[in-house]
Amino acid sequence: MEKLVIEGGKPLSGTIRIQGAKNAALPILAASVLNGGSVIIENVPDLLDIRVMLDILTALGSKAELKDHQVHLDMSGLNSSHIPEELMKQMRSSIFLMGPLLARFGSVTVYQPGGCAIGERKINLHLAGLMALGAEIEENGSTIVCRVGKLTGADIALDFPSVGATENIMMAAAAAEGRTTIHNAAREPEIQDLQHFLNAMGARIYGAGTDTITIDGVSEFRPCTYRIIPDRIAAGTIMVAAAATRGNVTLEQVNPQHLTSLVHVLKRAGVQIVSSGDIMNVQCHNRPKQVERIITSPYPAFPTDLQSLIMVFLSLAEGLSIIKETVFEGRFKHVDELSRMGADIRVDMNAAFIKGVSRLYGATVEATDLRAGAALVVAGLAAHGTTVVEQIHHIDRGYEQIETMLGRLGARISRKPSGEDDRPAPADRSG
């Protein structure tokens, strides 16, 4: 186990390239199962979750290698559709393999997936979608077995625009007989990236980015090379960190259109943001202003994955800000940790009331999930004194060496073994 030690109070400054999108790479790696040959995927971030997915693919019989942000896959030897339970428990995104494995083998055995504890995230929409395509599903405790004689296209209306369910249905339907239409589909950029990848392999899918996706099934797929989109959540993390530390940061290889909702909120708070092509500059020289109301919701609304980060930023703003979380009921676990750093936040049901303070103070805090961990790192960068963030394996699931990434912008941050006794003394709060 490791921890991050952060000396705060230094504005971030400089230029940084944004990593490839984890949430696009994982379903695309899963979709490669449909291919009986070789696939090359570029701009893949070297993350814990990516490594787990590659371990799963290897356990199923494929050849998988990640080197210099490029994954080489040979799917010709894939010979199993039974995902090892110990690997599946490490990562929720392993559920993406249900659709493509079912399409390739006619059966798949999975287990209830693991991942961050940010609330109840049922897979019933995934299962209902596969059943609509003709699958029979048997559940025995945590084990789920899906079987199908022939996948057949169908009209599927999702009760909620679930990203994972939309992607699983897309992958299975790509190999089904006939046409499938997904209504109330998720609209995230990662959905569009999956469509582009599947089509590069020979699929016929239209409409990703809207709430209606049409899939005309095909009988075979071809080898391809594909490049992953930039990670909008990693980009948003850097943008918020720059603003919270009163810094000046330029982001390269970013898609500003994927960040419209965050840009809108930051500008309302007084942050200066200029975009040109795939480059964005973020500056904040004064104390930010309150933002009266932010509501998380599926894309293109404000993303739940940036909720904890924007909360850190608003905890330093003038006045009272309100955030309403509508996606995950367990996504306020970071509030207690921020309160230990001097933040003034009150939670009532699914709403957080943030009364801005002039300064945060270093403390020893614990990452309870991926995005909460990133938020605590940003809080540490903006705080007075030393912050220690523990349980950082959560952070490693979504950020490639976050200490190196932030260090390039001048952050004073280092990774150390958790056993080292270097907890900071309480920061002086008299100033």
How far apart are the C-alpha atoms of 288 and 314, rounded to whole Å?
A: 8
Edge-first strand order for the sheet with 212-216 is 155-157, 179-183, 212-216, 204-206
CA distance readout (Å), 277 to 252, 256, 274: 9, 8, 10
Is 284 designated active site? no
CB-based burial label for 349 (10 Å; 0-12, 13-18, 19+): exposed
How far apart are the C-alpha atoms of 160 and 239, rounded to whole Å?
A: 29
303 secondary structure, DSSP code: -
Contact 185, 158 (CB under 8 A): yes
Residues forming a β-bridge with 366: 390
Pairing of strands 279-283, 272-276: antiparallel
Contact 208, 169 (CB under 8 A): no
**Which H helix or E strand runs over 106?**
none
How far apart are the C-alpha atoms of 205 and 322, rounded to whole Å?
A: 39
Contact 368, 391 (CB under 8 A): yes
Task: Identify the CA nearest to 29 among candidates 68, 7, 58.
Answer: 58
418 CB neighbour count, 10 Å cutoff: 11
Report the SS3 class of residue 376: helix
How far apart are the C-alpha atoms of 307 and 405, rounded to whole Å?
A: 21
Task: Identify the CA nearest to 308 among candidates 395, 375, 369, 252.
Answer: 375
**Residues 277/281/287/293 CA torsion (nearest 10 deg):** 20
Contact 373, 6 (CB under 8 A): no
- Token code pair at residue 220: 């075979």
Please pick, among 116, 146, 224, 284, the residue that the annotation labels catalytic. 116
Active-site residue numbers? 116
